[in-house]
Amino acid sequence: ILVPPFQSRIKVKGEVKRPMTFEISPEDTFENLLNYAGGFTDLAFKDRVAISRITGNQRSVSDVYQNQFNLFLLKGGDEITVSKILNRFSNRVQIRGAVYREGTFALSEGLTLSQLVKNAEGLRGDAYTERASILRTKPDLSTEMIEVNLKNVLAGTAPDVRLQREDVIRISSIYDVQNERYVQILGEVKKPGTYPYSQSMKIEELIILAGGLQESANSQDIEIARRLEDSDLGTLSDIIPARVNPDLSINTSSQSLQPFDQVIIRKRANFTMQRLVAVEGQVNSPGIFAIQNSVERISDLINRAGGLNQFAYSKGATLIRRTEFFNTESEQIRRQRNLEALKMKLIEDPNNSEAQEEMLQRLFRDLPAEKINPIDTSISNAKKESLDQIAAGTPGFAVKLKETEAVAIDLQKIIDNPGSENDLILEEGDILSIPKLLQTVRMRGDVVYPTTLRHETGRGLKHYINGAGGFERRANKKQTYVVYANGAVKRTKGFFGIRNFPPIEPGAEVIVPTKGPKMPIRLGDVVGVTTGLATLALVLSQINR
């Protein structure tokens, strides 16, 4: 099979269906080439094509019109470009804004602004008719803005505007020229937040939009904070007291709201959710207890727990209390958690009644999808920042924030003298731990053999130090301290070299700290001290003379 080389080729590009290079014969015309290329595309400019041809040592351009397609003979090296139609409209106008059908319309003979509004199916109810704008394109492609009173044009009291090609009509909404109006509700409602304002809106309607009142809400003590248009210097808002019926029924004296009002619903003064404490250890009825009143004390809790049993060690009792850094759950979080537990209970039961199924649907609708984070009070934040600043400015000082801590109490004194200053008032989350009678003493720190020893009545701290092998060489004897079972701490006291060690009780822990690193004395320090002493001696001798 012999394949000879081509005789002549041309290239066609642009808006044809197969733009590529073709081989031609000497008698082929542009019409033949167009058939090879599959014809024009839908966007092709068919009236004229440009052909670049080699003439001598350069190229020239020829325009071939549609009536010449079957006559124009092609030549090798020709490059044919089929252009695209212009991206412009000969009879387009546009209308945008507050009409029912905004968009592009055909410019018919004598079309006016009022007729175009009718073609767009009229104005919406929020249309601002005091003015409309027409963006007009001039022949030099610059633009000008024409402003008209649309209300007068539509009423026939002002001349209508005849439209031109490429006019863009803009009809604003009344909400484009004024702030969006809203109201806010804060406090004891299920979904506090911002809601759209409606004319003649009552407080009850806003509360219903916010999911209704919480069980803690005070319906008789509501405030409306109203924005003042022209206020005196120093007056920020107008406070209007209000009240609603607890069932949100119609109240003829109910206040009507105005745009940007803030409705604040506070909590009832005597409302509080149950607060729990716990008793662990050697009582007759350990467990969780609800605080009965705001002045209930440890002695009351012991009585409700049935008192101490025969194994209790009252001197080792400890009260675990939350600090200000504890992430306390708000009442809203507790309420949400209880409702979520109820929802899961209803989901698990396949035999729910119709009322229970309706309740389940309400729970799915009202409970927020996202968990509410525990509250972190401003006071605890301020204390954290202060401690961080102290730690940053003090080398070697580290702060460890605790959410709970042990409070040293003397339970025997509390039982003997209920209501005394030792008998602390209970707070939510308190845990009273009462251990069994302890019989050991734990040795920790810089002793020869840290261990746990049997407690012996009447023995002092030295006895237990000797039982652990005595002090280590680097032990700081002066700073030895004892941590008792109830969390109290006592340290060693000294007077003129005589050390008074703290007493030892069952369950105590003896801590012997280590002395700091011993720095070697340098020659320069010795010289400095010697020179200072010599100078002091010289001064004293001069004074005596």
**Residue 12 in this model has a pLDDT that exceeds 90:** yes
- Which uninterrupted H or E stretch holds 544? helix 523-544
CATH of domain 182-267: 3.10.560.10
92-176 matches 182-267 in fold? yes
Cα separation, 261 vs 197, whole angstroms: 9
Across the range 152-174, mean pLDDT stands at 89
Which CATH superfamily hosts domain 9-82?
Answer: Outer membrane lipoprotein wza domain like (3.10.560.10)
The domain locations on the chain are 9-82, 92-176, 182-267, 329-374
**Residue entry with tokens 């099979």:** 1
Structure tokens at 21: 């290079």
Return the closest-CA partner of residue 49 out of 69, 32, 64. Answer: 64
**Residue entry with tokens 């073709």:** 22
**Residue 20 in this model has a pLDDT that exceeds 90:** yes
pLDDT at 41: 92
| 21 contacts 10 by C-beta, under 8 angstroms | yes
Helix runs in 150-262, H state only = 150-155, 203-209
Across the range 419-431, mean pLDDT stands at 87
For residues 285 and 387, the model is more confident at 285
Q: pLDDT, tens digit, for every residue of 145-156?
A: 989 999 898 988
Measured in degrees and rounded to the nearest 5, phi and psi for residue 266 equal -95, 170
pLDDT at 2: 93
pLDDT at 375: 43
Return the closest-CA partner of residue 212 out of 229, 233, 188, 176. Answer: 188
pLDDT at 333: 60
**Residue 421 in this model has a pLDDT that exceeds 80:** yes
Across the range 277-287, mean pLDDT stands at 89
Bin 400: left if φ > 0, else alpha if -120 < ψ < 50, else beta: beta
Ordered DSSP codes for 451-484 = -EEE--TT--HHHHHHHTT-B-TTB-GGG-EEE-
CATH of domain 92-176: 3.10.560.10
Q: pLDDT, tens digit, for every residue of 230-258?
A: 656 656 778 888 888 888 888 878 888 88
**Residue 405 in this model has a pLDDT that exceeds 70:** yes
Q: pLDDT, tens digit, for every residue of 329-373?
A: 555 565 666 666 666 766 766 676 666 666 656 555 555 544 444
Q: pLDDT, tens digit, for every residue of 214-227?
A: 888 888 888 888 88
- Reduce the DSSP state of residue 162 to 3 states and report it: strand
Return the closest-CA partner of residue 24 out of 4, 13, 37, 8. Answer: 8
pLDDT at 370: 45
Across the range 505-529, mean pLDDT stands at 76
Radius of gyration of the chain from its Cα atoms, rounded to whole angstroms: 47
Instruction: Look up the pTM and report it.
Output: 0.48
